[in-house]
Amino acid sequence: MRFFLALLLLSLAGCATQPAIKPAADSTTHKQHLNSLGQIQAFNLKGRIAVNANGKGYSGSVTWAHQQDKDTMDVFTPLGGKAAHIVKSASEVSLTNTKGETVSAQSVEALTEKTLGWRLPLSGLSDWAVGRPTAAPITHQVWDELGRLTQLEQQGWQIEYTQYTAYLNTVLPQKITLKNQSLQLRLVIEQWSALP
């Protein structure tokens, strides 16, 4: 159960390989792409997730509605049963499991510490999911010739973007891998949509 909760909480917050892409000749292209991503303040996504932590693996699917002040996420088992419902507001995070039991905390990090015994730094996932760094210092970054982020190291996480898809007037990640010393999360986004 602890491992499953880790997977679930990681989704709030993470492999196919792609041919080598030439780095952008200058920063203008990726700055233009970042400006287009800056318009995205809210989104819905549906996708599949796979997590490997401490030698254990889990896979399933996820739906996530992100707004600036609220996140709502449902995580499903591989057979489609709802495994958990997570709601994150500015003041607290709650997780409701399949038994209807709810656990709350003031932050995702505090909730993971309460349920798992260790903290996950997931505050950046809403930015990383759309293919942009957070405002935190960046350790390493690589942009392709189209101005898209292909590799990012930030807040102790290594993030790799292996596939993008067109959405409205920009392109958004379709395959993302997030890694740290003890965990790997793969997210395959099957559908992006704007919040009403």
| 18: pLDDT strictly greater than 70 | no
CATH architecture entry for 2-189: Clam (2.50)
pLDDT category at 175 given cuts 50, 70, 90 is: very high
Comparing CA positions, the residue from 113, 115, 87, 83 lying closest to residue 100 is 83
Judged on CB neighbours under 10 Å (0-12, 13-18, 19+), 166 is exposed
pLDDT tens digits, one per residue of 89-118: 988 899 888 888 899 988 877 776 666 544
- In this prediction the pTM is 0.82
Choose between 50 and 55: higher pLDDT.
Answer: 50
